[in-house]
Structure 1
């Protein structure tokens, strides 16, 4: 049996009632999201205005890239669980992402040229894809590792962390978008890379505040030499470069990405189900089933939500009145509206959940998911009802759509992240978080297909709105069904015993049935919710 890693060093120093390590992760993720969302805001515009792609292939590339960004955490989560630990994985991911942005900035090429410059562009995306695979799942695992499973501060911590994500996502499209669209695309990609480098600096300089969370499970095994003469750690890094080469091929071959998603989903979900049935005690098994139910809702939510960077981005560019005080606001800047609402609404939602929780009235995670699906569908109707029969759509109605989608996101994404770390067993936490992002990848791939359904060149805004109406009704219908089954799913979560049984143990381990580890204090029995 693998040796059990030592517990994190107890640290009672807090900031605003939370461990100080939370705010290290907050700022590291802020800068990483600055780079990611800033680059994402100009990606489709760059493809259509610089490489002169038509809309449909641009949407296909966008869908392939954004979905692959979320496939990587499956492998990155597994490698962190078994070998690297979350901290080393996050550091390696940040370095790869920085290299990717540098390539995008330096290999722009002449306008309209789709030869070597386009392949260089794909290579930059490939580095970002693999780097995000190492970073994305594992930085969330670090947040969860700062708290016991039954700590009432967990959902609040993830809401704070989510504010860091959205602070970066708010500033990124403004800075990167304005520089990219008005000064030069390379300037936009370059400043995105600088943002990622700043995130790395924060993580390295203040990493001591994590107090042992995310260390390698077996440091000796990680340093052991392999048959190639490299340590296990450096063999993993070499494998990451091989992953870059594979990703470089896949970005330019979008059809293969759909097949990869299907295969990865079957293998991953199959492994999780086998582990849950064969190795876990009943309550832990039920929690895994509940987590998989939440994961199954991800593709629909993100397929609708992620129209932001593709079809909605070009709709804003072509069919929205963006003039303000005589200045035509770049379309990419509108992608900062969603994170603005997240930043302003997150404290309200966080306080609301806490207040309801103290009264035993807080909605359960599946119930919140149902609300989120209804809101994301309703957001499209805010745009549809405000669009005139002829002429440009007032920008107010695009902003209103983002308001609905932001409220939906707060009912969905931070709750999902918290649920994955709460419901999974310790040896599978990174894998479960990676599976969450795999489902998100499927949603991004479906988002590309939906965007292509809005029409090719010259299809017009009417077809875009017609597609939005159909998917809006569908999402709201599924949301109502989720509200109805939420009490049944919530029973599978066994929230009332999270602080009683041994934390994250697998069936067959000696710890099964023993009391919770010393020093893990139950903050109070949780209400089942509804």
Structure 2
């Protein structure tokens, strides 16, 4: 007779293509989550400038503030999952918030109009838009870091399948991003914003359903660390309920932050300056010479990464506006669809780069982390230079041939493949053990700061279409 325990064991040990079945549940969940995220991202800057009639500068700052929060909030979501909710509950809650946020984006309302030089917007629908963005920020915070953690937990520490599992998982991310930027961008720009945003929302519903239906294959991973503690009541509410209520209140805080981009920038800049100053002081006064050199090298490389990501993030803002106004796209392709070039090139080139680094490593010729960061900066710069060359060949209508845009995305992607995979590894290798966890937080903070700076740069790169 087969017992429930036997069935559970069989589910835990089930494999597909040599990997735990749970990996493919997470693959599909993350694919749909990234589908919804990148589908919305492909439309956001165009929605801000065309529907709400924000200036390029204001739209860039809204986009940058939103992106900064998307990078920063997962740090809090990860802490809450580790200490209280467990990974599974955090992912389900985050996915539910994302469904609300993405479907909320579909309530576009009437387009803004200009009366006597003043932009008139529907205040109610505009606030729904900001609230929807806030739900997405907090939803990503609960889901993004925690789902990656579950992937790692499916394998033993020395399991030789581990790297292959993460490769499959990250392929899901890029597959979702590639398909979403084609479909959502086309629907949104061709038939109406609500259709593109609505499709992104449907994608997130599919992701939530996939995780709920496939959770039984996760080998008992991701359960709350102290299940009984979640039921402890204060003021008549269990701890789990208080966490959910506090998270909704945090959504309202984010709602305000996205609308106050300047204040958000001052706060983020000041906090970054304080943290950086402390780390420099710590390196100079509390470390041995060898530790000091490692810490200062890491801080410098973090600065380089800020520059890279601030420029790279133009893909979702100023470069999409440039594509919309100044690139000869033909009659079918919309501006947002060209964001699909980045995930497409990653899918094609990531295996080649992995083989290249392995080939060079076996011959003791693999470039250092610093050299890879330098290559990344060089390539992102060359990508923009390609557009400068293309602009020199523009016709009388100011339209640039699409091949220059494709070349730019190719160079930006090869730069990303030089820098992105080694970033977290660099932090773990160079950090002094006493502050290793803090330095990981500083790394994520640098990504958030880079996203905000990217929004500021987008404003400086405002294009009038001429």
Q: Which TM class, normalised by the smaller chain length? A: 0.7 to 0.9
Could you say which residue in structure 2 is the equivalent of 1:47?
48
Compute the TM-score of the two structures, normalised by the length of structure 1.
Answer: 0.74
Q: Return closer, same or farther for 1:283/1:259 CA change in 2, 3 Å cut-off.
A: same
Task: Using the TM superposition, give the Cα deviation of residue 117 of structure 1 relative to its aligned residue in structure 2, in angstroms.
Answer: 1.2
Pairing 1:239–2:240 present: no
**For the residues of structure 1 that align with 2:125 and 2:350, how far apart are their CA atoms?**
41
- CA offset digits 1:467-516 (Å, max 9, x no partner): xxxxxxxxxxxxxxxxxxxxxxxxxxxxxxxxxxxxxxxxxxxxxxxxxx
Q: Return closer, same or farther for 1:446/1:89 CA change in 2, 3 Å cut-off.
A: same
Query: Among residues 120, 125, 142, which one is paired with 1:117 in the alignment?
Result: 125
**For the residues of structure 1 that align with 2:23 and 2:452, how far apart are their CA atoms?**
31
Query: Among residues 135, 139, 156, which one is paired with 2:143 in the alignment?
Result: 135
Task: Using the TM superposition, give the Cα deviation of residue 449 of structure 1 relative to its aligned residue in structure 2, in angstroms.
Answer: 1.0
**For the residues of structure 1 that align with 2:204 and 2:37, how far apart are their CA atoms?**
8
Could you say which residue in structure 1 is the equivalent of 2:98?
97
Task: Using the TM superposition, give the Cα deviation of residue 417 of structure 1 relative to its aligned residue in structure 2, in angstroms.
Answer: 4.7
**For the residues of structure 2 that align with 1:428 and 1:151, how far apart are their CA atoms?**
28
Q: Return closer, same or farther for 1:262/1:217 CA change in 2, 3 Å cut-off.
A: farther
Q: Return closer, same or farther for 1:443/1:148 CA change in 2, 3 Å cut-off.
A: farther
**For the residues of structure 2 that align with 1:455 and 1:337, how far apart are their CA atoms?**
22
**For the residues of structure 2 that align with 1:218 and 1:184, how far apart are their CA atoms?**
47
Could you say which residue in structure 2 is the equivalent of 1:408?
415
Secondary structure (helix, strand or coil) at the match of 1:455 reads: coil
Task: Using the TM superposition, give the Cα deviation of residue 77 of structure 1 relative to its aligned residue in structure 2, in angstroms.
Answer: 1.9
Could you say which residue in structure 1 is the equivalent of 2:5?
none
Q: Return closer, same or farther for 1:344/1:127 CA change in 2, 3 Å cut-off.
A: same
Pairing 1:339–2:347 present: no
Could you say which residue in structure 1 is the equivalent of 2:314?
307
Q: Mean Cα displacement is larger for which, 327-336 or 199-208?
A: 199-208
Question: Which has the larger share of helix?
Answer: 2
Pairing 1:262–2:266 present: no
**For the residues of structure 1 that align with 2:89 and 2:274, how far apart are their CA atoms?**
26
- CA offset digits 1:86-128 (Å, max 9, x no partner): 3322221111111001111134334433411111111100100
**For the residues of structure 2 that align with 1:126 and 1:436, how far apart are their CA atoms?**
23
Query: Among residues 215, 219, 229, which one is paired with 1:211 in the alignment?
Result: 219
- CA offset digits 1:111-146 (Å, max 9, x no partner): 433411111111100100111111122222223334
Task: Using the TM superposition, give the Cα deviation of residue 62 of structure 1 relative to its aligned residue in structure 2, in angstroms.
Answer: 1.1
Pairing 1:197–2:205 present: yes
* Maintained 8 Å contact 2:386/2:407: yes
Secondary structure (helix, strand or coil) at the match of 2:110 reads: coil
Compute the TM-score of the two structures, normalised by the length of structure 2.
Answer: 0.84
* Maintained 8 Å contact 1:61/1:254: yes
Could you say which residue in structure 2 is the equivalent of 1:230?
237
Q: What pairs up with 1:46-65 in 2 under 5 angstroms?
A: 46-65=47-66
- CA offset digits 1:311-346 (Å, max 9, x no partner): 1001111111111xxx24111111111111111112
Q: CA RMSD in A?
A: 3.7
**For the residues of structure 2 that align with 1:360 and 1:14, how far apart are their CA atoms?**
36
Gaps of 5+ in 1: 1-8, 461-530
**For the residues of structure 2 that align with 1:256 and 1:91, how far apart are their CA atoms?**
32
Pairing 1:321–2:328 present: yes
- CA offset digits 1:396-434 (Å, max 9, x no partner): 110011011111112222333566688889999997665
Secondary structure (helix, strand or coil) at the match of 1:216 reads: coil
**For the residues of structure 2 that align with 1:426 and 1:231, how far apart are their CA atoms?**
37
Secondary structure (helix, strand or coil) at the match of 2:316 reads: coil
Q: Return closer, same or farther for 1:145/1:366 CA change in 2, 3 Å cut-off.
A: farther
* Maintained 8 Å contact 1:68/1:257: no
Paired residues, number: 447
Q: Return closer, same or farther for 1:328/1:338 CA change in 2, 3 Å cut-off.
A: same
**For the residues of structure 1 that align with 2:189 and 2:166, how far apart are their CA atoms?**
33
**For the residues of structure 2 that align with 1:237 and 1:288, how far apart are their CA atoms?**
38
